[in-house]
Amino acid sequence: MNLILIKQPKRFLTKERRNSMYITASNLYDYLQCKHRIWRDKHGPLDERNDDPNPFIELLWEKGLNHEREIIANIGEYLLIEGKTWEEKFKNTQKAMNEGIELIYQGVIIAGELLGIPDLLRKTPTGYVAVDIKSGRGSECVDEEGDEGTMKKHYAIQLCLYTDVLIRLGHQSERRAYILDINSEEHEYDLTEKFGPKSPSAWELYETTREEVKALILNIRQNKPALSSICGLCRWYASCKKWCEANHDLSILFNLGMSKRDVLTEDLEISKVEELANIDVTKAMADKKQFGILKGIAEKTLTQFQHRATIKTPELKEDIYFPKVSKELFFDIEDDPTQEFVYLHGVYERSSDGKKEYIPFVAKEHTKTAEKEAWAGFWAYINSLPKNEFAVYYYSPHEKTIYRKLRELYPDVISQTELEAFFDNPNVIDLYNDVVRGKTEWPLSSYGVKAIATYLGFKWRDETPSGALSIK
Ligand code: SF4
């Protein structure tokens, strides 16, 4: 499973979220994920919102909550802020800060239109700092060895809001806050620092985002939805899809997304698929050169999108040859991304004599030993197959990425050379990249296996297939 999600705020429930005019840390997070989400949450058609529980999001909540409970259980003395409303909790938090309580848990801080609920407020010589507990790594990796690097934008922007409120309330003067991460390690975030040499500082990003979010909450500004890979887990997916399809929005073209859609609309004054189908690409590229428009859109990309704007049925761009072998293995893994744990390597084996068999390698316990045994079992099975007489099919680079991580964890199971040779083997085929994206086009906004299988008329035995349900 490889998912990007729209976070559900921990203590900010749907109804409160809809009716509140406060700007919260969750609003800023959501805006970084999808620029349209804020507007739709506040002003979108409620009857089109899907409020059914989502197993994957519930799982993340549960894991996040469990992690927070574990941290809090071992954190020493603290004061838990209680109250029936945010305003009452704010009053109690102010009282606790004025009394100089060392550590405050679940405090509510409010200043003007800003409302923050940092997990912890910690007293320091310069005042109170916000400390947020996260069930992910505390910073971005900057190199292949996984060494720690820069601040995570979506963490930093939330810490900025808490710090802004603390400064406005006179409880802090420095732009500094902390993340307590999945490994219980504390990461200091200097919010005046830039994310990179050409990027804005965390505080600059926060200020511009806060103003955008404010305008959307107040309905002073409206923006349009756009279909992209992050929409799958969003409760507004059906609603946004309906809008995009009804309006022939450019984002219904596979891989176009919101930012390219907005560039095309702004620079070429087009918003509909049929308008893109009719543009003069040569002239657009000449204008790009002369006026510096169409940032991030090269001629090849524009031509490809224009082509996608015209197709009505699936197209084969190149002949596809699959290896003729005695065994075909259709392979998929399932992992729990919240705990970086791989619990299933599933193979559907089809032999040339007509025999079909499902062969699972399962970690039956949540332990490193069980994970390693399941993985070693998979490799023992692969090594037992007649060389060059089998082909492996998988969908997306996720398997390769996860296997590289597993190899680092368990280097005695398989060497790096063997692992790379396995994926370099022309009989080991990533159907998504090598075949679907590389050699075909579809009249679909997603080239995911579910979208294509559904388009081709396939159905699932299980009515609600979900990797998250298999984690539980
Ligand atoms: S469905 Fe997509 S575009 Fe619509 S609000 Fe959700 S993430 Fe944004």
Shared domain check, 91 and 32? yes
When mean pLDDT is compared across 124-128, 262-266, 335-339, 365-369, the lowest value belongs to 335-339
On whether both 332 and 393 belong to a single domain, the answer is yes
> Atom 5 of ligand 1 has which residue's CA nearest to it?
37
Are residues 137 and 205 both part of a single domain?
yes
Lowest mean pLDDT among 12-26, 39-53, 198-212, 252-266: 12-26
Residues 306 and 331 in one domain: no
CA of 241 to the centre of ligand 1 (A): 8
| Paired residues of 148 in beta bridges | 141
Same domain membership, residue 377 and residue 265: no
In the structure, what pLDDT confidence band is assigned to residue 468 with cuts at 50, 70 and 90?
low
Q: What are phi and psi of 145, to 5 degrees?
A: -75, -5
Select from 41, 50, 231 the residue to mutate for testing ligand 1; criterion: most ligand atoms less than 8 Å from CB.
231
140 and 28 in one domain? yes
CATH of residue 115's domain is 3.90.320
**What are the tokens at 88?**
């009452």
Is residue 228 one of the residues assigned to a domain? no
In whole angstroms, give the CA distance from residue 23 to residue 52: 25
* C-alpha of residue 316 to centroid of ligand 1, in Å: 31
Report how far apart the first and last C-alpha atoms of the chain are (Å, whole number). 14
Q: What number of CA atoms fall less than 13 Å from residue 415's CA on the CB side?
A: 3
In tens, the pLDDT along 227-262 reads: 998 998 899 999 999 999 999 999 999 999 999 999
Is residue 248 within 8 Å of 272, Cβ to Cβ?
yes
| pTM of the complete model | 0.83
Beta strands 139-141 and 127-133 are: unpaired
> Which ligand 1 atom minimizes the distance to the CA of 35?
8
- Tokens linked to 416: 């790096």
The single residue listed with the structure tokens 């309580």 is 101
Which DSSP state fits 200?
P
Give Cβ neighbours of residue 230 (< 8 Å, ≥ 6 apart): 4, 5, 6, 33, 34
Residue 225: inside a domain: no
Which atom from ligand 1 is nearest to the alpha carbon of 237? Answer: 1
Go through the chain and tell me how many residues it has: 472
Structure tokens at 188: 């200091």
Q: Which domain holds residue 467?
A: 327-471
The dihedral through the CA atoms of 435, 438, 444, 446 has a sign that is positive
Q: Are residues 302 and 332 in the same domain?
A: no
pLDDT at 139 over 90: no
Cα→Cα distances 248→40, 224, 281, 378, Å: 19, 12, 20, 46
Do 211 and 251 reside in the same domain of the chain? no
Separation of alpha carbons 398 and 403, rounded Å:
8
Q: Is residue 252 part of a domain?
A: yes
Residue 112's pLDDT band, with cuts at 50, 70 and 90, is very high
Beta strands in 273-320 (DSSP E): 315-316
Same domain, yes or no, for 390 and 251? no
Distance of CA 268 to the CA centre of its chain: 30
198-225 burial code (b ≥16 CB/10 A, e <16)? eeebbbebbeebbebbbebbeeeeebbb
| Residues with a CB atom less than 6 Å from ligand 1 | 6, 34, 36-37, 40, 225-226, 230-231, 234, 236-237, 240
**How far, in Å, is the centroid of ligand 1 from the Cα of 36?**
6
Please check whether residues 334 and 262 belong to one and the same domain.
no
Distance from Cα 20 to the centre of ligand 1, integer Å: 20
Rounded distance between C-alpha atoms, residue 86 and residue 64, angstroms? 22
Three-class DSSP category at 228: coil
- Nearest Cα residue to atom 7 of ligand 1: 231
% of the chain exceeding 90 in pLDDT: 79
- What's at 205, amino acid-wise? L
Give the count of alpha carbons within 13 A of 182, CB side only: 11
Domain match, 463 and 393 both = yes
- Tell me if 155 is assigned to some domain: yes
DSSP assignment letter at 364? -
Closest C-alpha residue for ligand 1 atom 2: 231
Q: Taking Cα atoms as reference points, which of 270, 262, 199 lies closest to residue 228?
A: 262
Nearest alpha carbon, ligand 1 atom 1? 237
Structure token digits, residue 135: 């069930």
pLDDT of residue 13: 44
Would 7 be classed as within a structural domain?
Answer: no
d(CA 121, ligand 1 centre) in Å: 33
The average pLDDT across 434-452 equals 95
Q: Answer whether residue 124 shows pLDDT above 60.
A: yes
Spatial contact of 154 and 169, defined as CB atoms under 8 Å apart: no
Closest CA to 9 of 35, 44, 33: 33
Give yes or no: residues 103 and 64 share one domain: yes
Look up the CATH number of the domain holding residue 455. 3.30.420.10
Q: Which of 4, 33, 49, 240 to mutate to test the pocket of ligand 1 (most atoms within 8 A of CB)?
A: 240
The Cα 277–Cα 287 span in angstroms is 18
Total structural domains in the chain? Answer: 3
